[in-house]
Amino acid sequence: MAIGTEEVLKLRQRTGLGMMDCKRALEEAAGDAEKAIEILRKKGLATAEKKATRTAAEGRIHSYIHHNGKVGVMVEVNCETDFVAKNEQFLTFVNDLCLHICAAAPMAVRREDVPETVLERERRIAREQAIEAGKPEKIVDKIAEGKLGKWFAENVLLEQPFVKDPDRTVQDLVTDLVARTGENIVIQRFARFEVGEEMS
C-alpha cells in the first residue's frame, strides 16, 4: 500500500519520530494511524530494552517551584551524551517530569526503591482488608498482591499515569524518549518539598 507524505507528516507530528520510521510503521499497519502508533511504541520498547545497559552519565538536574511557592521539586535525569542533554525534547521531558512529581507526589522512582518496611506495611494492610471482607484464606495473598500492584501505580513514579496524559505512564514517556533520541534515558532521583511537610 502506497503511503502519502501527508499521512507520514501527521504521524510524525503525533509521535515526534523520524519520517522513515513513521512511513515504515504506516506501511506495516496498512495506513491505520492508530495501529502504526502501536507498532512504533512496541519498537520503542524494544529499543529501550536494548539501550538500558548503556551508561547514562550525562543529563540534567532541573528544579521547579509551584506558583504558590509551597511545593518544590528537583530531579536528575541522565542520558548518554551532552548533545541529547541539550535537546529540546529531553529538556521538555525533564520539565514535564518536575510538574508531574509536583502534582502526583510519588514516593520512589521505581519499585525496588520503595523501603521493605513500607512494602510489608502495605501488604499487611491489604491482607487485613481482604480478611475483614470475608475473602477465603487461600486467595488473601493473591488479593493483597493485586492491591500492592495498584499501590505501586499510585506511588512509584515510573508506574504512575502521567498527569498530562493519564492513558500513559511515566515509563511510557521514558520509552518514547529513548526511541526518539536513540539513547538510554534514566530517571536517577528526585526530591519533592512541601511547606509544613515533616521529613521522614
Q: pLDDT, tens digit, for every residue of 104-162?
A: 999 999 999 999 999 999 999 998 988 888 888 888 888 888 999 999 999 999 999 99
The SS3 call for residue 183 is coil
What is the structure's pLDDT at 16?
63
3-state helix, strand, coil in the chain (%, to 5): 60, 20, 25
Name the CATH superfamily housing domain 58-110+156-194.
Elongation factor Ts, dimerisation domain (3.30.479.20)
- Taking 70 as the pLDDT cut, the residues of the chain under it are 1, 15-18, 44-55, 199-200
Predicted TM-score (pTM) of the model is: 0.71
What CATH number belongs to 5-51?
1.10.8.10
Q: How high is the pLDDT of residue 107?
A: 95
